[in-house]
Structures are given as C-alpha cells and as structure tokens.
C-alpha cells in the first residue's frame, strides 16, 4: 500500500485493513505451528519416544466465522469501489 493509498483510507477501511492483517498473521502462526508439529511427529515416530501434544492445542481459536469474514470483505470492497450495498431481497 502506498502512502497516498494509506492516507486516503477512511477509518472503517483502515480498521478492515487492520483486521485483515491480524487474520493473516494468525493464519501464518497456525501454518507454522502445524509445520512444527509435523516435524516433531516425524521425529517422535522415527525415535519411538513420548507421545506428542495434540495439534489442536497449538492452534489459535478464530474470533470470527467464515460468514463474518466474507461480510467484512464485501463491505470493504463496497467502500473501496463506492458502490452501496443493497439489502437482500427474500422471496
């Protein structure tokens, strides 16, 4: 992001960028934790040592649901393009 793009963001857009960054870093952490767990699993299996910690204890819990993530992305795209969102029409 260029400085001009940064300074052109509204507070809402800036907040969404912050959320996206936080989610990316959490995903990177989870990826790294799984990789480390797999490396240790291979080591433990090959050396037939103590049992390994459950991988679920290494992963961070998501604060949002995929639906909330999608809605945030749609709102951000709407704001960037200047296209207002319309309410869903149910039949």
**How confident is the model over 56-69, as pLDDT tens digits?**
766 777 666 677 77
Which pair of structure tokens corresponds to residue 6? 């940064």
pLDDT digits (tens, 9 = 90+) for 26-79: 999 999 999 998 888 777 776 765 666 666 766 777 666 677 778 888 888 888
Question: How far apart (Å, rounded) are the C-alpha atoms in residues 66 and 12?
Answer: 20
Q: What is the pTM of this model?
A: 0.48
Other beta carbons within 10 Å of 72 = 16
* DSSP, res 56: G
Handedness of CA 32, 33, 39, 42 (dihedral sign): negative
Nearest to 58 by CA among 39, 38, 34, 28: 34
């Amino acid at each position: 992001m260029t400085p001009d793009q940064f300074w052109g963001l509204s507070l809402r857009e800036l907040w969404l960028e912050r959320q996206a960054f936080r989610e990316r870093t959490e995903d990177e952490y989870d990826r790294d934790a799984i990789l480390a767990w797999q490396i240790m699993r291979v080591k433990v299996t090959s050396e037939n040592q103590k049992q390994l910690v459950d991988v679920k204890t290494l992963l961070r819990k998501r604060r949002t649901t995929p639906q909330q993530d999608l809605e945030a992305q749609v709102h951000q795209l709407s704001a960037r393009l200047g296209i207002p969102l319309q309410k869903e029409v149910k039949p």
